[in-house]
Amino acid sequence: MMAIKEIRKTVDELLGWLAEQGFVGDEDIKEVYAQGERFAKVVSEGAKRAKRLSEKVLSAMAASFPSVDLETAVEASALPPRKMFKRKDMLEHQFFPFKLADGAVHIAVINESGFLFLVQKSNELGKTFKYFSAPLKDIIAAIKKYYPAS
């Protein structure tokens, strides 16, 4: 947001100088601002469309994850180390890391809502994540059972 204000200030200064020098008139300045407004609207609409497309792609990806029954799939001895994930993040982004096997972290998610967070976390940890779907109630129950509040 700050960059837009800085650009606007620079344009204002430049147009002011050009007007002082007699290179542009009031009509020219109005047209520059009108074009800027039209450009901003096009950019804004493009950003909205890109966001909608991204959400659809993530939703389709999440729908393709195999389902997992956390009651039978979770073994305390196979859980990833506690330091990998914070309970707060699991609750906020609605996921549960239920297994660490062959260097990959198996993670149950309910939908795409936490997926971007998990992609970032995967990069941060340098780990491969395998995604599975599970109902929210099962994810919350597993978090409460294996990652109790301190």
pLDDT in the model for residue 53? 83
Measuring CA to CA, which residue among 48, 57, 143, 59 is closest to residue 98? 143
Contact (Cβ atoms closer than 8 angstroms) between residue 108 and residue 141 = no
Task: Give per-residue pLDDT as tens, 24-75.
Answer: 888 988 888 888 888 888 888 988 888 888 778 877 777 788 999 999 999 8
> Span 78-107, mean pLDDT?
92
Q: Is a pLDDT exceeding 90 seen at residue 15?
A: no
> What Å distances lie between residue 42 and 2, 8, 12, 89, 103, CA to CA?
19, 17, 21, 35, 45
Q: What whole-number percentage of the chain has pLDDT above 70?
A: 98
Domain boundaries defined on the chain = 2-64, 70-146
Task: Give per-residue pLDDT as tens, 82-95.
Answer: 889 999 999 999 99
pLDDT in the model for residue 106? 95
- pLDDT confidence band for 121 (50 / 70 / 90): very high
* CATH class of the domain defined by 70-146: alpha beta
